[in-house]
Chain A
Amino acid sequence: MTAPAPPTPQAHGSAPEGAGSGAGPVARSVAGGWTGRARAAAVRPWLLLAPALLVLAVLLLWPLVRVFLFSLQDYGLREITTGEPNWIGLGNYAEILATPELWTVVLPNTVGFAVLAVAGTVAFGTAVAVLLASLGPFWRTVTSSAIMAAWAMPAVTGTYVWVWIFDADRGVFNDVLMSLGLLDDPTNWFTNRWTFYAIVLLNVIHHGFPFVAITVLAGLLGVPKEMLEAAEMDGAGSFRRFFSIIVPQLRQVFAVVIILSTIWDFKVFAQVYLMPGGAGSNRSVLNLGVWSYVESFGQNRYGFGSAIAVLLTVLLLVVTAVYVRTVLAEEER
């Protein structure tokens, strides 16, 4: 996983956050300070925003438009050097959809993995949060420090450590299995699609559960104790208390961790690319992100790779949008 980058707005203190609400510092500041002189005031926010907007426009928005434009071209080495476009319409998309591998390998690897990884990360992270909430201060600090260590491990080094642990010839995993008599000969776990992705899953859950655990823990500590005690008095068991009180109370928290985990797990790259065979030589483990990359930079088929990247982006946006809508619909009930 890349660095944790949750787009969670910070709301320190009691400052109102609502965009465009009439009250609060935004409106009051009209009287003095920042927006003092009326005419200059209209220009000032734009002056302040200009550098950041310029960077975002040139380095994020224009590239996004461009990747779409590339996807409509046969953009290869010749085009990249001459800069002359070679439009082929939807040809790349037609080719992608006609590739049997897309349906048998790439999409199952991408979507199937994301579903398992999100479910695993959220379930495990929540279980850990519940455990943490029940611990005393000392053990809670010890355990959450350990969790922080797992979180802080960069995706690249974390992946290398897992690769080393499961190494076919010298890895400790094979050693232990053989010394226990569970395995006769060293096994290469990276050649089989299922065991390959099992290792990716282990890696991603190990790296991803701390964010879920810490976020859900913060939510759990905010659930009013009286509610839980009242339910206990009424004879509700711990499972009942969890699903009937805590889960509804933490709906927002779960929405955030599920959306963010989905976004992260749909586009795992380094965790696959750096494993043996993951950089394209073993085509049975390709996912959308790696496929796009190896077609572009391995085969110099930048147009085709762009079309795959567009597909990944659209898939991600659709999943996020559907999820956000579901959450919003439940809110309004």
Chain B
Amino acid sequence: MSARRSPLRQLGKGVLVALLLIFTLFPVYWMLNSSLDAQAGHTNSFWPSEPTLEHYVFVLTEGGFGTFLRNSLLVALGTVLVSSALALLASVAVARFRFRMRTQILMMVLIVQMVPLEALVIPLFVQVRDLQLLETLTGLIVVYVALAVPFGIWMLRGFVAAVPVELEEAAYLDGASWGRMFWSVLLPLVAPGLVATSIFGFITAWNEFIFAMTMLGGASENYTVAIGLRSFFGVHSNDWGAIMAASTIITVPVMIFFVLVQRRLASGLTSGAVKE
């Protein structure tokens, strides 16, 4: 062990960590720096040379970004509510019942996640148009639910399977109905799984770009944050201060959240991969 503690080794490791932190955080820092500098887009400075919140005030008041935020929140919450409910019911079916086609359904759920969005965007555009839901938030929710459900089923299946069947059997023997068992026994126990699924659904809807761009088209009052950002790009010059302020507003909530839940997130994502 002594070789590992040698000063030279420690120094080398310190340099590597420093380089890694710079590479990882520089874009984040640069986004914050530009968003807080009145001179952003004119001269570059490695810290806000003229510190100001004017870019934030601009995007939230005149820039219409408040509306985009509201739209994104509505779409994300709608997606989470519908997709979690559908995924929960389906995951109970695949985790608790044995029936014909069960394996095939699980395989299908896995395979549809590999399909590139570019292949779906053309037919879904036509489909949403036929439903007369183009340029509406509802149309977008419908699409995002479809994207979030397969992952939700995979995720919740493990949580449902981990709930001891004995608890349900006990409730059954006590005369609890099927619905009662669902609400009072299963639901509280899979709540952490529902939270994880909801987070995933929320972030999918919050970040998604290609469908929002295609489906919302010219209806700028219905833009989500991911495409609302583009309104700060000008024909001749871009308002980089505003773009970076809006980017910060979009990014920082997700970022804080990721850092807070990192341990659970990492173990959740990796448990499937690491288990043989």
Contact = CB atoms under 8 A, between A and B. Distances in A.
User: Which of A26, A31, A175 is the most central at the interface, judged by chain B CB atoms within 10 Å of its CB?
Assistant: A26
Query: Interface size for chain B: under 10, 10 to 19, 20 to 34, or 35 or more residues?
Result: 35 or more
Interface string A167-188: 1001110010000000000000
A27 B118 contact: no
B274 A219 contact: yes
B233 to A, nearest CB: 9
10 contacts: A12-B158, A45-B102, A49-B93, A66-B123, A146-B20, A154-B207, A256-B273, A269-B209, A312-B118, A313-B116
A8 B103 contact: no
A309 interface: yes
Given A11-B271, A33-B169, A42-B99, 9 more contacts: A3-B204, A12-B271, A49-B105, A157-B250, A160-B243, A170-B44, A172-B30, A252-B276, A296-B122
Contact of B114 (A26, A52, A215, A317): A317
B17 interface: yes
B273 A26 contact: no
A163 B262 CA distance: 28
A6 B273 contact: yes
Interface in B223-262: 226, 229, 240, 243-244, 247, 250-251, 254-255, 257-259, 262
Contacts of B255: 148-149, 152-153
B269 A8 contact: yes
Q: How large is the interface on A (under 10, 10 to 19, 20 to 34, 35 or more residues)?
A: 35 or more
Contacts of A90: none
Interface in B204-224: 204, 206-210, 214
B44 A59 contact: no
Contacts of B267: 218
Nearest to A296: B122
B161 A67 contact: no
Nearest to A174: B44
B165 A306 contact: no
B146 A60 contact: yes
Interface string A250-294: 001100110000010011011001100000000000001100110
B229 A270 contact: no
Interface string B78-93: 0000000111011011
A309 B119 contact: yes
Contacts of A32: 168-169, 172-173
A70 B122 CA distance: 9
Nearest to A266: B116
Contacts of B208: 2-3
Interface string B113-155: 1111111111111110100000000000011011001110111
Contacts of B158: 9-12, 15, 17
A64 B154 CA distance: 21
A150 B30 CA distance: 13
Q: Among B27, B92, B206, find the residue whose CB has the most chain A CB atoms closer than 10 A.
A: B27
Nearest to A29: B165
A46 interface: yes
Given A15-B161, A161-B247, A263-B114, A3 B274 contact: no
Given A6-B269, A143-B20, A154 B254 contact: yes
Nearest to B124: A63
B95 interface: yes
A175 to B, nearest CB: 5
B196 to A, nearest CB: 8
B146 A155 contact: no
A316 interface: yes
Contact of A70 (B123, B157, B272): B123
Contacts of B30: 161, 164-165, 172
Interface of B: 4, 13, 16-17, 20-21, 23-25, 27-28, 30-31, 34, 41-44, 85-87, 89-90, 92-99, 102-103, 105-106, 108-110, 112-127, 129, 142-143, 145-146, 149-151, 153-155, 157-159, 161-162, 164-165, 168-169, 171-173, 178, 181, 193, 200, 203-204, 206-210, 214, 226, 229, 240, 243-244, 247, 250-251, 254-255, 257-259, 262, 265-276
Interface stretch (A95-103, A115-123, A128-136, A239-247): A128-136
B119 A64 contact: yes
A293 B254 contact: no
Contacts of B13: 131, 134-135
Contacts of B178: 34, 36
Interface in A50-67: 51-53, 55-56, 58-64, 66-67
Contacts of B42: 170
Contacts of A105: none
B123 A19 contact: no
A59 B181 contact: no
A2 B240 CA distance: 23
Most chain A C-beta atoms within 10 Å of own C-beta, residue among B257, B268, B275: B275
B154 A55 contact: no
B20 A64 contact: no
Given A154-B206, A293-B121, A320-B114, A7 B150 contact: yes
